[in-house]
A and B are shown apart, each in its own frame.
Chain A
């Protein structure tokens, strides 16, 4: 079974600084997809960024970017120019090919310090 590991239960960053959240996963599949979701205090899950495993280029969405290392099965999220609104739980998620559900890591709570 696929597993997703987030080794940082909590992280903090100064406003306007950059922070990187770690995620590793375990799979035997070659075709899969990786996601980062944000869960603010409202608890609404929000998609931050996604990466197709077959793409070598790292995904980027404005201030959010990933460092996808397929051989190492690593998928870290970098948040640049951190803002107060970035404070939330961040979940790394894996999805295999086909109509399969997302598998989530345990999450990293990010605090942004003004």
Chain B
């Protein structure tokens, strides 16, 4: 099946710094990628939809200036957490869907990135 990778898998940073998380589709081109956030023992909450070559669409309540998303190529989307604070500590998961007309195209998930802000 299709593989989605994320880097880094775990990052610790100081409060006030910025952190970039990369999401790559390794064996398919993804015109659309999704970014989710998951708190401990909770479900995945959609943060934004990232479309290659255009601005991301953010969900209500997600600060676009704090969570910068760039989808510069068909295989790479990045999420930058700017001026991170302890409350931004969470598990961030990206997901990608191969393009196509088949609406049942499976959404593949990366392994996630654990962010800890001190």
Contacts and interface: CB of A to CB of B under 8 A. Distances in A.
A and B from one complex: yes
Interface of A: 31, 33, 37, 42-45, 47, 50, 52, 91, 95, 97-99, 101-107
A101 B38 CA distance: 16
Contacts of A47: 106
B8 interface: no
Interface of B: 32, 34, 38, 42-44, 46, 49, 91, 93, 95, 97, 103-104, 106-107, 109, 111-112
B61 to A, nearest CB: 13
Contacts of B95: 45, 101-102
Contacts of A42: 111
A93 to B, nearest CB: 8
A52 B111 CA distance: 26
Contacts of B104: 33, 50, 52
Contacts of A52: 104
